[in-house]
Structure 1
Amino acid sequence: MTKVVNYISEAFGELKSNVTWLPWAEVQRLTIIVAVFTIVFSLAIWGVDEVFTKVISGIFSLIKG
């Protein structure tokens, strides 16, 4: 158990001393960019899915019909 506690303690020590963190304003800006890109990409995938759904439905109605 002491090995686990020691590992966690050393990990936090490295995060404090060896990692260069971005300024808070930069983190907020990049988070907004990622959120906007995620929404745009999700809408694009939804649109492609809708188009393929209509195409496949049309093909099946021609075959069935």
Structure 2
Amino acid sequence: MAKIVNYISESFEELKSNVTWPTWAEVQKLTIIVAVFSVLFALATWGVDEFFAKVLAGFFNWIKA
């Protein structure tokens, strides 16, 4: 149990002293960038899904006829 407590204690100390935290302005800017790219990726995925759904529906209708 002492090893676990020591590990957690050292982890918090490393986070306080060795990690370079971004400024609030950087966090806001990067959050907006991630949100925009997430929306763009979701739209691209939706578009590809719709395209292939129509292609497959057309293919199966062609086979059925």
- Indicate the residue corresponding to 1:12 in structure 2: 12
Instruction: Give the 4+ runs in structure 1 shifted more than 2 A.
Output: none
Where do 5+ consecutive residues of structure 1 fail to align? none
Q: Secondary structure at the match of 2:27?
A: helix
Where do 5+ consecutive residues of structure 2 fail to align? none
Tell me the TM-score normalized by structure 1. 0.95
- Indicate the residue corresponding to 2:43 in structure 1: 43
Tell me the TM-score normalized by structure 2. 0.95
Across the aligned residues of Structure 1 and Structure 2, the Cα RMSD in angstroms comes to: 0.6
Q: Deviation per CA, 1:36-60, whole angstroms, max 9, x where unpaired? A: 1001110111011101100000000
What is the number of equivalent residue pairs in this alignment?
Answer: 65
Distance (Å, rounded) in 2 between the aligned partners of 1:20 and 1:45: 35
1:28: how far off? Answer: 1.1
